Amino acid sequence: MLSLTICSLGFHGVRSSAPMGKSVIRMEGQNSKALPFAPRPALLDGTLAGDNGFDPLGLAESESRLAFYREAEIRHCRLAMLAAANWPLAELLNKPLAKLLNLPAITEQTGGLAPSIPNGGLGQVSAAFWLLVVAIGILAEVGEITPLLPEARIAGDLGFDPLGLFAKMTAQEKRTMQDKELANGRLAMIAITVFVVQEFVSKKPTF
DSSP string, 7-44: HTT---S-S--GGGGGG----TTSBPSSSTTSBPPTT-
Q: Detail the residues annotated as belonging to a binding site for chlorophyll b.
A: 78, 125, 149
Q: What is the pLDDT of residue 194?
A: 93
Q: CA 45 to CA 15: how far, in whole Å?
A: 10
Q: Quick check: 25 and 160 in contact, CB under 8 A?
A: no
Domains, the chain, ranges and CATH?
2-202 (1.10.3460)
Q: Quick check: 88 and 194 in contact, CB under 8 A?
A: no
- Residue 137 reports pLDDT greater than 60: yes
Q: What is the pLDDT of residue 142?
A: 65
**Span 71-96, mean pLDDT?**
89
Q: CA 187 to CA 181: how far, in whole Å?
A: 10
**Span 56-78, mean pLDDT?**
86
Q: Detail the residues annotated as belonging to a binding site for chlorophyll a.
A: 73, 76, 180-181, 184, 186, 198
Q: At what angle do helices 171-202 and 63-100 cross, to 10 degrees?
A: 60
CA 169, distance to chain mean position in Å, is: 23
More confident residue, 198 or 111: 198
DSSP string, 57-82: T----SHHHHHHHHHHHHHHHHHHHH
Phi, psi values for residue 77, rounded to 5°: -60, -50
Q: Detail the residues annotated as belonging to a binding site.
A: 73, 76, 78, 125, 149, 180-181, 184, 186, 198
Q: CA 197 to CA 206: how far, in whole Å?
A: 10
- Residue 128 reports pLDDT greater than 70: yes
Q: What is the pLDDT of residue 9?
A: 43
Least confident of 102-116, 143-157, 189-203: 143-157
Q: What is the pLDDT of residue 28?
A: 56
pTM over 0.85: no
